[in-house]
Chains A and B, each alone.
Chain A
Amino acid sequence: MDRGRNLSPDREDAALRDLMVAYQGGSLDAFRELYAHLAPDLRRYVRFLTRASDAADDLVQEAFLQIHRSRAAYNPVYAVRPWVFGLARNVCLMNRRATRRWATVHAAGVEVPDVPVPAAVEQLAAADEIRRCLAELPADQAEALTLHHVWGFRFDEIAGMLGVSAVAARARASRGIAQLRAKLERLKKGPVP
């Protein structure tokens, strides 16, 4: 499978489903390919969720272990990326009681995660400033925003991952992007006297 981003989302999804089916059939090569294809984005997502890069690597491995244990629970009718991201999110929630931690971390403004910058705002400021502003957003908005604008999930997929309606997922992302733009605009104008 092409590891680059040359494939269209539909073809990439079809190829990932084939790999998952081969992996369910007992192919270690299929697992390696799935790992190679999914791990980089998954690591960024877990880092984004945990804000702690040391723990993030462990959690990514734990997520892949959980994928392995639960591989029978994957049904080929599901798209692979949302399933894997959703499972990784569950692992983070279960292991870290993450929701409260994220809220605390957001409030404390700890290390800004190295997530890609959403294309919708990349023209507005330097990448570090965007990441810093992103880290100041409410956790639910920041997550919906990055899942859609950075990792390219559809709102119905995000809804299934977060346990909200697609309308709510869209609203969170759009509130997040509006707040992010406003923060970046303020930053451009400089500190208020």
Chain B
Amino acid sequence: MINDSTPPDALLAEVSRDLHSVRPWPTPWRQALWSTPLAITVIVALPLLVGLRQDAGAIGPLVAWGVSLVQVAMGLILIWMASREGTPARRLPGNVTRAAIAAAGLMVLAVSYVTFSRSPTHVPHGTSAWLVGTICYVGGILASAPLFVLAAWFHSRYVSPRPALAGALYGAGAALTANAGWRLICPISTPWHVLTAHGGSAISVAVVSALLAHLVAKRVR
């Protein structure tokens, strides 16, 4: 039995060994706020580097930029929720988390439908749909990388009882934000392409992120 009020020597030695001064981490909403400039950079940089989709005029600025900004906000909310999940005593109720994930999925479906109904564009004849799909799939994953790395770095400091859920949340948040930029440069609005290539890349990032968070937590244990 250990003395109730005095730390054991081994614990004190461990604490003394690494007792440098640390700066308190920002609260979850501040972390989401810190991610905002990077998220905005992603959706602005992609059209600047590659060029805005050719049918941008047809779909209009509201469906192009407005919807992308709403999607970015949803992505940041998921990153905020991941931070809450990892912060002791700040966890959100499970049904709120499930509702947010469902809302993110529905948002992708709704955005695809609205964009296609405004401007139904298909893969040009003579171009391989698989090739275009692969470009969008890989591009979406690469575009997610900066925000994903930032969110994973935030999360690496935490002890989450459900690391896979936290990982899935910040992975999905990063992917949703990247997808908001990618849809501004991809000229194809066919649901088949959008849901498999764009949606597939978002799901892949979320799944890999969940697996990574789970494995890291297991190793730390």
Contact = CB atoms under 8 A, between A and B. Distances in A.
A104 interface: no
Interface size class on chain B is: 35 or more
A57 B3 CA distance: 10
Contact of B88 (A32, A64, A83, A159): A83
Nearest to B2: A57
A163 B91 contact: yes
A127 interface: no
Contacts, number: 123
Given A24-B22, A26-B20, A73-B25, A164 B93 contact: yes
Contact of B15 (A24, A68, A161): A68
Nearest to A164: B93
* B interface, over-half SS: loop
B209 interface: no
A152 B85 CA distance: 23
A90 B15 contact: no
A182 B29 CA distance: 43
Contacts of A40: 4-5
Contacts of B22: 24, 71-72
A26 B20 CA distance: 5
B2 A163 contact: no
Interface string B66-88: 00000000000000000001011
A37 to B, nearest CB: 8
Nearest to A42: B4
A108 to B, nearest CB: 23
B25 A75 contact: yes
* A interface, over-half SS: helix
Interface residues of A, number: 51
Contact of B19 (A3, A28, A43, A77): A28
A60 interface: yes
B161 A93 contact: yes
Given A73-B87, A85-B89, A94 B161 contact: yes
Contact of A61 (B1, B8, B157): B8
Given A90-B88, A161-B91, A165-B96, 5 more contacts: A60-B2, A87-B89, A160-B91, A161-B88, A163-B92
Contact of A24 (B1, B16, B24, B27): B24
Interface string A85-96: 111011101110
A78 B14 contact: no
B93 A35 contact: no
7 contacts: A32-B6, A61-B8, A68-B14, A76-B24, A90-B161, A163-B92, A168-B93
Given A40-B5, A76-B24, A83-B88, A159 B93 contact: yes
B102 interface: no
